[in-house]
Amino acid sequence: MKAGEVLVITSNYAAAYAAKLARVEVISAYPITPQTTVVEKLAEFIEKGELKAKMIRVESEHSAMASCIGASAAGARVFTATSSHGLLYMYEMLWWAAGARLPIVMGVVTRAIAPPWTIWTEHADILSPRDSGWLILFAENAQEVLDMIIQAYRISEDHRILLPVMVGWDAFISSHTAEPVSLPPQNKVDEFLPPPGLHPIKLDVKNPFSHGNLTYPEYYMEFRYLIQRSMEDAKKVIKEVDERYGEITGRRYGGLVETYRCDDAEHVIVTVGAASGDAKEAVDYLKSRGLKVGLCRLRSLRPYPEEEIVKLLEDKESVIVIERDNSMGLGGIIAREIASTVFIYDLPLNFASFIAGLGGREVSSTDVKNMVNIALHKFSRGVSRIKDVWYGLRREVLP
């Protein structure tokens, strides 16, 4: 791998290159579409002698995370990747990883959950463990997948944090689409990341201790408070790491959120993931037609970037959330979190939320323009709250 080399690769391969650049020492994973090529590429690196790492082949995703927990607890730098049902299968172990304060990094190729059976993108899987204590970051494209995974190791291993991080990207739209990706030189990544094995409470046979044992009510609450405090600290650390990474690569993403043409905007679209590129194109078009529209792309889902949202929206007229998820029985997850911020901070905003693109259905720039126009038309008629519009439903096939 040459210094500063640019490769045309998919987001899945970008994730593998990122793990290689981070010099991971243990990889444990179970294959699941559309994640499989991430770990296949890492296996190729190991077989060719390009990566000195132990590949642990396991019988399930639950075992994959258990292996990562054991290796990380012993001081190794670890990596895994999964998707959809695989993430749900390891759900119990996600809580053990966070509760043990282990700096594990995992790639999650987001995919809708069956039934009905599907392999295409949706964000319900990665949003399901949002209360577990994992940091949840989400990339827009292959370049950001590579950069975000490298950054994730620096964030998770920071002694102010010591929490696992999952990095998400969209199935097929991103995972299997090839685009130019610039690889930072290995020596620069080595300078950027601390050496592995500096976990302050890693297991040591010469100094044995009990970890994760039974905790009585007198102390359990304090363990949860410490994780919450580290989540709050992570907001600052994510910004610091993004800035430092920008110094060595020239690529900065804005920390917890990326804003696009929001300075003079009156209306802000909120998106997550690959659809953000189409949303940016829609913003450009709408601005050329005189509409003052901007975009806020959430890069961090946990910790939730509350302060950044408030600062961005406090002088705007409206916010329009477009998301690839639905909490059945409630509505859009991201919309509910944005709405809670609007309510708690008493922001006088018009509010609209759209559910779109479930199961991998396309969300094009034209679709984004249509959703914005629907919202602005209703706002102009005095409607201030538009909740959970299911955009693009094929009503002719509904009973």
Comparing 6-249 with 257-397, is the CATH topology the same? yes
- pLDDT at res. 153: 98
Amino acid present at 209: F
CA angle, 147 as apex, 145 and 149 as ends, to 5°?
65
Residues 6+ apart with CB under 8 A from 8: 178, 179, 180, 181
252 vs 224: CA distance, rounded Å? 32
Phi, psi torsion values for 295, nearest 5 degrees? -125, 140
Sheet-wide strand order for 300-302: 54-57, 26-29, 78-82, 105-110, 165-170, 135-138, 300-302
Q: How many whole angstroms from its chain centre is CA 123? A: 10
pLDDT band at 213 (very low <50, low <70, confident <90, very high): confident
6-249 is classed in which CATH architecture?
3-Layer(aba) Sandwich (3.40)
Return the percentage of the chain with pLDDT > 70, whole number. 99
Read off the pLDDT band of 373 (50, 70, 90). Answer: very high
**Any idea which fold 257-397 has?**
Rossmann fold (3.40.50)
Average pLDDT of span 300-319: 98
Domain positions in the chain: 6-249, 257-397
The answer to whether the CB of 372 falls within 8 A of the CB of 281 is no
pLDDT over threshold 80, residue 1? no
3 band by pLDDT with thresholds 50, 70 and 90: low
Confidence of residue 2 (pLDDT cuts 50, 70, 90): very low
Residue 45's Cβ-side half-sphere holds a number of Cα atoms within 13 Å equal to 27
Grade residue 31 by pLDDT with cuts at 50, 70 and 90. very high
What tokens were used for 339? 């709405």
* Average pLDDT estimate for 33-51: 98
pLDDT for 104-146, tens place per residue?
999 999 999 999 999 999 999 999 999 999 999 999 999 999 9
Question: pLDDT-derived band of residue 200, with 50, 70 and 90 as boundaries?
Answer: confident
Query: What's the pTM?
Result: 0.97
Q: What is the mean pLDDT of residues 56-71?
A: 97
For residue 40, what pLDDT band results from cuts at 50, 70 and 90?
Answer: very high
Mean pLDDT of 59-71: 97
Segment 298-309 shows an average pLDDT of 98
**In whole angstroms, how large is the CA radius of gyration of the chain?**
21
Mean pLDDT of 221-233: 98
Q: Which residues contact 393 (CB under 8 A, 6 or more apart)?
A: none
Q: How confident is the model at residue 217 (pLDDT cuts 50, 70, 90)?
A: very high
Residue 281 scores a pLDDT above 50? yes
Q: How far, in Å, CA of 77 to CA of 104, rounded?
A: 7
Q: Answer yes or no: is pLDDT of 210 > 70.
A: yes
Where helices occur in 180-274 by DSSP H, the ranges are 186-192, 217-249
Determine the average pLDDT of the residues in 197-224: 89
